[in-house]
């Protein structure tokens, strides 16, 4: 079995190959290591291999890990970056605002308002992606593509947030062309917002899109950040973590 550093290397290689297949530079796609349900030892192994960006879904569990690394002399100045990629209930916004660096899952103004109000003034603005639902029904998280511009214009007014881009979790479909078509809709939303030319969009540079199964299509469509969990850390055991 491969170790965590070996698996990170393999995923990076997959990203590089996907980039080359469509003529993008290798370093144009960041790897977000999704560490939900895995402990601090696994995260430290990944960090020792050079991984810096980590994605977490469950707020309480994540905050314990973030605090752990913030308190370790060996890690506190190593520039680990924590991304919230799970749904956020209203009663969890304060924990998110106080501990994370990024939030990928903003799909309502109310959540954004609370995150901005609760972001401590001494911290950098929270980096925000708007979650877009390009393929699903009304039960799925994310804003409909035609509602993103209105939400962006409102979020842009919030002082403690910095808009960075869009995030999406399309259903995985087997057919590559179909995958690509869905991913390209996410890219189209990203481009449409960029074209608004708002001054608050100076750092609008992120498309958080693609997981292990659809990485290649996501990169071809323009993803700048792929989120990989089990491909790095192994299968998750939800039973023991919760």
Ligand X SMILES: *Cc1c(COP(=O)(O)O)cnc(C)c1O
Smallest distance from the beta carbon of 34 to ligand X, in angstroms? 4
If you ran DSSP here, which 8-state letter would residue 224 be given?
S
Q: Which is nearer to ligand X, 200 or 212 (CB)?
A: 212
Q: Which is nearer to ligand X, 164 or 201 (CB)?
A: 164
Nearest to 127 by CA among 95, 152, 164: 164
Q: Does 18 bind ligand X (CB under 6 A)?
A: no
Q: Which is nearer to ligand X, 14 or 220 (CB)?
A: 14
Quote the CA–CA distance of 50 and 100 in Å, as a whole number. Answer: 20
CB 78 within 8 A of CB 105: no
The SS3 call for residue 144 is coil
Q: Which is nearer to ligand X, 103 or 156 (CB)?
A: 103
CB 164 within 8 A of CB 127: yes
CB 94 within 8 A of CB 68: no
Q: Does 142 bind ligand X (CB under 6 A)?
A: no
Choosing from 165, 170, 222, 231, the residue that interacts with ligand X (CB under 6 A) is 231
Neighbours of 53 (CB within 10 A): 19
Q: Does 128 bind ligand X (CB under 6 A)?
A: no
Q: Does 228 bind ligand X (CB under 6 A)?
A: yes
Q: Does 169 bind ligand X (CB under 6 A)?
A: yes
Q: Does 34 bind ligand X (CB under 6 A)?
A: yes
Q: Which is nearer to ligand X, 184 or 230 (CB)?
A: 230
Q: Which is nearer to ligand X, 36 or 92 (CB)?
A: 36
Which residues contact residue 233 at a Cβ distance below 8 angstroms, ignoring those fewer than 6 apart?
Answer: 4, 7, 33, 34, 35, 38, 42, 46
Choosing from 9, 141, 200, 212, the residue that interacts with ligand X (CB under 6 A) is 212
Quote the CA–CA distance of 59 and 92 in Å, as a whole number. Answer: 7
Smallest distance from the beta carbon of 76 to ligand X, in angstroms? 26
Q: Does 106 bind ligand X (CB under 6 A)?
A: no
Q: Does 57 bind ligand X (CB under 6 A)?
A: yes
Quote the CA–CA distance of 85 and 33 in Å, as a whole number. Answer: 11
The residue whose Cβ lies closest to ligand X is 229
Phi, psi of 53 (to 5 degrees): -95, 125
Interacting residues toward ligand X by CB under 6 A: 34, 36, 57, 85, 169, 211-212, 227-231
């Amino acid at each position: 079995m491969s170790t965590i550093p070996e698996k990170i290397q393999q995923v990076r290689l997959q990203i590089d190959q996907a980039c080359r297949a469509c003529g993008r530079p290798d370093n144009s796609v960041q790897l977000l290591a999704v560490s939900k349900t895995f402990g601090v030892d696994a995260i430290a192994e990944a960090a020792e291999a050079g991984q810096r960006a980590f994605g977490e879904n469950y707020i309480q569990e994540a905050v314990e890990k973030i605090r752990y690394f913030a308190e370790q002399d060996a890690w506190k100045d190593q520039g680990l970056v924590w991304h919230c990629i799970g749904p956020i209930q209203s009663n969890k916004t304060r924990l998110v605002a106080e501990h994370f660096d990024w939030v990928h899952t903003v799909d309502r103004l109310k959540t954004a308002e609370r995150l901005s109000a609760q972001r401590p003034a001494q911290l950098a603005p929270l980096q925000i992606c708007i979650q877009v639902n390009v393929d699903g029904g009304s039960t799925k998280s994310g804003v409909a593509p035609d509602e993103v511009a209105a939400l962006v214009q409102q979020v842009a007014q919030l002082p403690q947030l910095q808009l960075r881009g869009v995030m999406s979790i399309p259903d995985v479909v087997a057919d590559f062309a179909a995958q690509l078509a869905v991913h390209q809709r996410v890219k189209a939303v990203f481009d449409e917002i960029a074209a608004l030319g708002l001054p608050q969009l100076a750092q609008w540079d992120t498309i958080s899109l693609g997981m292990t199964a659809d990485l290649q299509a996501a990169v071809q469509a323009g993803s700048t950040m792929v989120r990989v969990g089990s491909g790095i850390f192994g299968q998750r055991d939800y039973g023991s973590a919760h």
